[in-house]
Structure 1
Amino acid sequence: MTLEEAADALNAITGGATDASLMSAWESGRRRTGKRNRAGLCQLHRERPEVLFAHQDGAATSVLETSGTAVVVKVLTRWTDLVEAMVSVAAGARE
């Protein structure tokens, strides 16, 4: 789904006026979602709020660790986080 399509789908659920730039701000961590939009996004993506909003709530690692998964996923919300993650992967690589 594009951001525009996701915003339209969310608006159909919530009756709100979300646009692509607001969706992007939520994804990047520049803005936080409100209660109504959180509920709508959970319905749209068929996922629990603890998973969808862990990056906003600062609990991404602990929520995923307690879910029983062996793989912990970290949501990268800033360019510097992405660069740091790439450097870490490259530094740990073996021939």
Structure 2
Amino acid sequence: MDNKQQDEQQSRMSRSQYRQQQRQAEQKSSDEPLTGTADHIYSREAAAGQRHDETVAEKTARLKRRLNIAIVALIVAIIIVYLILFYVG
């Protein structure tokens, strides 16, 4: 039981310990020489990252356009309501 509890405590780690462990693993992997297949994997990851960045940029541009349309529509609606209240009242 003591071994099981010790293993469980070792498996629980703080966020900073986990991040440090991940950094060490990345450093070890970056120190290893790259093979042809690893280059292919890295290029795939780079391409996927670039596509993701492009889709984020497209979504941001679309959201900006929609926001501008909504702002203009609200301004027009406020003006119409103001005119109605001015002439009816």
Q: Which bin holds the TM-score, normalised by the shorter protein?
A: under 0.3
Task: Report which of the two structures shows the higher radius of gyration computed on alpha carbons.
Answer: 2
Structure-2-length-normalised TM-score = 0.24
TM-score w.r.t. structure 1 length? 0.23
Larger RCO: Structure 1 or Structure 2 (Cα < 8 Å, ≥ 6 residues apart)?
Answer: 1
